[in-house]
Amino acid sequence: MNTDDFIYDFDAPDSDWNFEPSRADLFRQIDAPLYTTDADGWLTFYNDAAAQLWGFRPVLGKARWCGSWRLFESDGTALPHDLSPMAMTLREGRLCRGLQIGLERPDGSRMAFMPYPTALRDDRGAVIGGCNILLKVERASLRVAFRNPLQGRPTLRAAQRADMHRCSA
């Protein structure tokens, strides 16, 4: 093959050789539930997998901290959205990893998941938003007991009060 036969026009305005898809286009291709928020926690994007996990499609800009209908601690107590891992990450700039919490869908069904919220920062380090990927817990041995307290496992709120954070600085 003779490479002299090829003509390259790197300045061509119609050329898609350097195409960069939008963040939304990239996130839509991810199979795991994920969503983004602005710095105040208002939802700015979520993919179809997140809507499927939540059991409905929250209105962007009207849902805050998470798209879940209701959240629960590992012991089954209600977890207010403003105390969720995403809220903690955005307010305090800490990573909250390794937590298992539960959600309730509008139809009443419940499911356990592990959130991995990450603060999005500008070039000066200021928090400008957040991104959260949600991992469904499907193995029965790992599921949250929604009605019975788990012995020896602190809830997110108890850990925050005792300053024994599963959320790290």
Q: Indicate if the alpha-carbon torsion angle 90, 92, 95, 99 is positive or negative.
A: negative
Quick: pLDDT tens for 27-77.
777 889 999 999 999 999 999 999 999 999 999 999 999 999 999 998 889
**Res 95: pLDDT:** 83
Phi then psi dihedrals of residue 53, to 5 deg: -60, -45
Mark 118-133 as b/e (b = at least 16 C-beta within 10 Å).
bbeeeeeeebebbbbb
**Res 14: pLDDT:** 57
Tokens describing residue 152:
């020896």
**Res 16: pLDDT:** 58
Phi then psi dihedrals of residue 51, to 5 deg: -60, -40
Give the amino acid at 12: A
With H, G, I as helix, E, B as strand and everything else as coil, classify residue 91. helix
Q: Is the pLDDT of residue 117 over 90?
A: yes
Quick: pLDDT tens for 89-111.
999 888 888 889 999 999 999 99
The C-alpha atoms of residue 82 and residue 153 are separated, in whole angstroms, by: 21
- pTM, entire model: 0.71
Q: Give the H or E element holding residue 53.
A: helix 48-54
**Res 2: pLDDT:** 60
Q: Could you tell me the CA-to-CA distances from 70 to 2, 3, 103 in Å, in that order?
A: 64, 61, 5
Predicted confidence band at 150 (pLDDT cuts at 50, 70, 90)?
Answer: very low
Percentage of the residues of the chain whose pLDDT score is greater than 70? 70
Q: Which domains does the chain have, with CATH numbers?
A: 21-168 (3.30.450.20)
